[in-house]
Amino acid sequence: MVMLRVRGFEIHKSYLSLQEQQALIEVLRPVLKAVPLFSPTVASGGKMSVRMTSAGRYGWYSDEQGHRYQAHHPKGQHWPEIPPEILNIWRALTQTDREPECCLVNYYGENARMGLHQDRDEADFSYPVLSISLGDDGLYRMGNETRGGKSESLWLNSGDVVVMGGEARLKYHGVDRIRFKSSRLLPKGGRINLTLRVVT
């Protein structure tokens, strides 16, 4: 396990063993059954290429009215609790006095991507955002606190964990592409990204 620091982003390479990754996939199965993945709509009316759902007190949601946190899935059911196996990773790497209130589950298929964006829908930016990669490799881009300028990219592999706190908390970041079926963790291929956040 190696920890890299790029533009303030703490990148814990190979933080999770294969057995730990497989265990996370298993605890996610009942979450995905209770609150299935959906394709959010953006303000312009188009659909995001990433499908998502959430666990925790709040889930992240986007439609024609904009993006926000809300307490229930688009079909009305409340989000299930964040599995303790996921919370343990937050506790080990962030050492904060708050537990995450949202675990956003993003699924990237073969052609999915996530444009450069800031995580700024939360009330308190002093708490970090923690990101867990499972499945196929994703090309992760890290930018600046404002749009434009130089950026840096690296491949995130299954089992990598990124902590965005301090100077990196409001920096733009995104996923440019997926190396589809580069991992055997998910039988049908694809990448799952778990993003833990303190919301209120």
| Residue pLDDT, tens place only, 43-68 | 777 888 999 999 999 999 888 777 89
At residue 32's C-alpha, the angle toward residues 31 and 38, to 5°, is 130
According to the model, what pLDDT value does residue 44 have?
Answer: 75
Q: Has 67 been labeled as part of a binding site?
A: no
Residue boundaries of the structural domains of the chain: 2-35+47-197
Q: Has 73 been labeled as part of a binding site?
A: no
Alpha carbon distances (Å) from 141 to 65, 122, 144, 156, 182: 27, 21, 10, 10, 19
Q: Has 173 been labeled as part of a binding site?
A: yes
Determine if the pTM surpasses 0.85: yes
Q: What is the pLDDT of residues 97-114, one digit of tens each?
A: 999 999 999 999 999 999
Does residue 80 have a pLDDT over 90? yes
According to the model, what pLDDT value does residue 1 have?
Answer: 78
According to the model, what pLDDT value does residue 197 have?
Answer: 98
Evaluate whether 27 touches 52 at the Cβ level (below 8 Å).
Answer: no
Evaluate whether 105 touches 52 at the Cβ level (below 8 Å).
Answer: yes
Does residue 162 have a pLDDT over 90? yes
Evaluate whether 43 touches 66 at the Cβ level (below 8 Å).
Answer: yes
In the chain, how long is the greatest CA-to-CA distance? 42
CATH topology of domain 2-35+47-197: Jelly Rolls (2.60.120)
Q: 3-class DSSP state for residue 110?
A: coil
